Amino acid sequence: MSRPATDALGRIHSEGPAASSRVDDPDADLVRRVGSGDLLAVRALTARKLPRLTALAARVLGDAAEAEDVAQESLIRAWRQAPVWRFGEARFDTWLHRVTLNLCRDRLRRVRPGGPQDLEALVDPGPAPDRGLEARDVGDRVAAAMAILPARQREAVVLCHYQEMGNIQAAAALGISVEALESLLSRGRRALRTALSDLVA
């Protein structure tokens, strides 16, 4: 088995204006309907994207309240974008992730130059019946380990691991190559493994 050539990755799957083939977007129909003022589509797109963007912002910012503000702003920009969206050039979800990440970076630069700090805000207020204290402790440890990762590594891990993006989509959201993404992921996961070494089985 040989490593896939970069051009094959870029040519077949790349997103953005340079893509030679049109991007298949699972959100295209909803976005089109939102752009024509369909309120049912607004509700459906909110249900699909708001939890996803809130989770993304919370994990990047380390602050639940700020994450909600960022997710709200991202979706308001989505409403503005929907009527003029150029279908086939990129996935709407990738664009939304990029907008959310940029808003997060702005906040981190402006408000907290040191990065995420308020990790307690990320912990759920009440544990679910099936969720013990131990799982909650582990979650807190993971949040703390993620918070000390360099920003780009944290973003890469959040996009691929938690947002379940493929490498092409995550690289497009970060504005980097797939090779650079893979390097960020590898370094990020290695640092996490070290930070959580007492918990890794």
Q: Among 118, 103, 117, 110, which residue's Cα sits nearest to residue 53?
A: 103
Site of tokens 């051009």: 7
Residues 100-119 that bind another protein (CB under 8 A): none
* Binding-residue pattern over the window 154 to 193 for another protein, x denoting contact by CB under 8 A: ---x--xxx-x-xxx---------x---x--xx--xx-xx
For residue 140, give both structure tokens: 């807190």
d(CA 153, CA 158): 9
With contacts defined by CB under 8 A, how many residues of the chain interact with another protein? Answer: 62
Nearer to another protein, 4 or 88 (CB): 4
For residue 178, give both structure tokens: 């797939």
d(CA 130, CA 123): 16
Question: Does residue 81 contact residue 100 with C-beta atoms inside 8 Å?
Answer: no
Positions in the binding site for another protein (CB under 8 A): 1-4, 8-9, 12-13, 34-35, 37, 39, 42-43, 46, 50-51, 54-55, 58-59, 64, 67-68, 71-72, 75-76, 79-84, 122, 124, 135, 138-139, 142-143, 146, 157, 160-162, 164, 166-168, 178, 182, 185-186, 189-190, 192-193, 196, 199-201
